[in-house]
Amino acid sequence: MFPYEKYLRKDKFPHIWCTGCGCGIILKAMLRAIDRAKISKDDVAIVSGIGCSSRTPGYIDFNTLHTHHGRAIAFATGLKLARPKLKVIVVSGDGDATAIGGNHFIHAARRNLAMTVLIYNNHIYGMTGGQVSPTTPFGRKASTAPYGSAEPAFDISGLAIAAGASFVARSTCYHATQLDKLIEKALLKKGFSLIEVLCPCPTYYGRPNRLGNAVDMLMYYKENSIPIETARKISEEERAGKITIGVLHDIERPEFCEEYFKLVERVRKI
Amino acid sequence: MRQSDHQTIKVMTGNEACAEAAIVSGMRFFAGYPITPSSEIAEVLSRRLPEVGGVFIQMEDEIASMGAIIGASLAGVKSMTATSGPGFSLMQENIGYASMAEVPVVVVNVQRGGPSTGLPTLPSQADVQQARWGTHGDHPVIAVCPSTVRETYDWTVEAFNLSERYRVPVILLLDEIVGHVNEKLIHPEPNDIKIVDRVRTTEPPDKYIPYRITETDIPPMADYGSGYRFNVTGLSHDETGFPTNSPEKIDALYRRINRKIERYRNEIVFYKRELLEDAKICVVAYGSSARSARRAIHEARAVGVKVGLFQPYVLWPFPDVELNNIAQQIKHFIVPEMNLGQIAHEVACVTKTIPIKVTRVDGNLITPGEILERIKDVSL
């Protein structure tokens, strides 16, 4: 049994998440990854915005910063540059990161500033009661899309790759044992790393769309996910409707924090 | 001010003086977004900060700039941003965060005409009420307003000192005139500059309570990444820094963060009185309008009018007691300002009089002649 207690603020429980929510699965995977990457608790900063995912930092014993809706990456940028030795992890949701925080998200990826962004993608605004989000699939219902969403959804991982992230991976709450390995890789990667985790919200996304209970939603992830290696071999038609999981993108690019302090050294020598 | 061989004399703008003074204050993190008429502050700092090992970053917008400086300040680094009206509006969200989480930061607003895009290249003083009430909720804030290049230098240093001392965002209100005017600046001697740093906790990490209610009402800080693991949130929180729904604890928090400013207002409020001893007319002016006002009162005195000047350098908290104290002796308050009467409103409230407004919102400064005319009108 993994010693989760070492990392938990036990007096902050019970947590606020609904029955069947996937947030706890991601929280635990993150703790296993941090432990495996052997990063001291004092050297980890967890920064979040507003939403269900963003309540994560309150439960775990690191340097924790709970900011405004969408702004976690902006706060994290200042924190990282002011104290580069910190391993900065941003936990965010699909609405937090790609709607209100979309600008900060793409620019942090472009800069390739060393931080790991963990996006809990449940396709819905859970905290506020199930409104449509930028990742709600076309046609799905939400409290502000009672006739089904008429908008196409964002591909969060694709967005991060296009914007310049060094490392991008996708997984689901069903694939918990894959998830911690991916997060560990992301933590050890130099540069901006993103993990998109599909996360069941049976209360506000599952119920209006008749997707069953939490177990049904997890089983959906199991049955419809394909590893990236397989996805690359099959045709587009065969890939349709499937969730591609694994390391989607892993490249070497100059990291902003390191580049900035190289610049400082250069300037100070003149 | 003493003048010695060591002192350097330079001609520079208010924006340049602000950037230099920020470096002297120990500011080592700047995040900003280009906007006229403040951009020179960012330009100077993009050159100067690397020279002193600090961080300059141009962010994607003003919201991000404000977030980044809060993040950096929580890591223990004195931080600042600079903007103008539209950017200041965008920053309000996170200025509220700094008020709520008690994070020292300095926000420079080189005012232009507004609302909206307004008059990007022309002066205004129309953000003085936004500086007080721009973000939602009851919140503490300090706003200071110099009127010359040298004063901009001094008040930039003081803005950092106030921010560090009271754990509060400080708004440095310049305007396009003060920001862009070239004036002689005699650098103060380093020993003459008083630098204040935030009080840091002396307790060990396991005993540290980030928002402990102390006798001073200002909780000692710890830096992120220094071995103190704590939580900071924009939600209403208790002493431990975690969200709370307890009415008692919520009440204690809101009252304390606002009380900080009320309690220390005598140490914060700063103003200059000129020729007020026997005055029957008082001109209340700040920022670049105070320059015209000073000229006007001297010209009026030359023709025998008993008029003086009250110039607040700290606009928030407002010098209400001080103005109220002279209200008995003053028959007419005249308030020249480049807006439609934002500080005149405060003067009316605290003096229980109807002040005479001298307003301009056309992008031109208020001339000494315009103020003099009103002084003469009421002295007849």
Which of the four pLDDT bands, split at 50, 70 and 90, describes residue B7? low
**Is A256 within a domain?**
yes
B59 CB neighbours in chain A (<8 A) are 74, 77, 107
Which of the four pLDDT bands, split at 50, 70 and 90, describes residue B2? very low
Average pLDDT over residues B86-115: 97
Coil, helix or strand at residue B16? helix
Cα nearest neighbour of B46 on chain A: A264
Which of the four pLDDT bands, split at 50, 70 and 90, describes residue A37? very high
**Is A8 within a domain?**
no
A67 CB neighbours in chain B (<8 A) are 67, 70, 97, 234
**Is A11 within a domain?**
no
Rounded distance, CA A180 to CA B52, Å?
A: 40
Which of the four pLDDT bands, split at 50, 70 and 90, describes residue A270? confident
**Is A1 within a domain?**
no
Q: Look at B71 and A41 and tell me if their CB atoms are within 8 Å.
A: no
ipTM value for the complex: 0.97
Average pLDDT over residues B302-312: 98
Rounded distance, CA A73 to CA B64, Å?
A: 8
Percent of chain B surpassing pLDDT 90: 95
Cα nearest neighbour of B222 on chain A: A63
> Residue A168's domain spans which residues?
18-269
Cα nearest neighbour of A82 on chain B: B72
Domains and CATH numbers, chain B: 9-192 (3.40.50.970), 205-266 (no CATH), 272-379 (3.40.50.920)
Q: Which residues of A touch B (CB under 8 A)?
A: 12, 41-43, 45, 47, 57-58, 61-68, 71, 73-83, 85-86, 103-104, 107, 260, 263-264, 267-268
Interface size, chain A vs chain B, as Cβ–Cβ contacts under 8 Å: 135
On the question of pLDDT at A36 being above 50, the answer is yes
Q: Look at B229 and A64 and tell me if their CB atoms are within 8 Å.
A: yes
What's the confidence (pLDDT) of residue A268? Answer: 95
Report residue B90 as tokens.
């965008």
Percent of chain A surpassing pLDDT 70: 100
A77 CB neighbours in chain B (<8 A) are 31, 57, 59, 64, 67-68, 71
Instruction: Tell me the backbone φ, ψ of residue B205, rounded to 5 degrees.
Output: -50, -40
What's the confidence (pLDDT) of residue A13? Answer: 96
What's the confidence (pLDDT) of residue B367? Answer: 98
Q: Look at A104 and B60 and tell me if their CB atoms are within 8 Å.
A: yes
pLDDT per residue over B320-377, tens digit each? 999 999 999 999 999 999 999 999 999 999 999 999 999 999 999 999 999 999 999 9
Mean pLDDT of chain B: 96
Cα nearest neighbour of A268 on chain B: B51
**Is A159 within a domain?**
yes
B65 CB neighbours in chain A (<8 A) are 74
Rounded distance, CA B265 to CA B366, Å?
A: 30
Q: What is the least distance, in Å, from the CA of B25 to any CA of chain A?
A: 17
CATH number at residue A263: 3.40.50.970
**Is A86 within a domain?**
yes
**Is A125 within a domain?**
yes
pLDDT per residue over A114-128, tens digit each? 999 999 999 999 999
Closest CA to A245 of A162, A188, A181: A181
- DSSP labels for A91-124? EEEHHIIIIITHHHHHHHHHHT-SEEEEEEE-SE
Cα nearest neighbour of B54 on chain A: A264
Structural domain count of chain A: 1
Which of the four pLDDT bands, split at 50, 70 and 90, describes residue B5? low
Q: Look at A78 and B29 and tell me if their CB atoms are within 8 Å.
A: yes
What's the confidence (pLDDT) of residue B6? Answer: 57
What's the confidence (pLDDT) of residue B179? Answer: 97
On the question of pLDDT at B3 being above 80, the answer is no
pTM greater than 0.95: yes
What's the confidence (pLDDT) of residue B1? Answer: 42
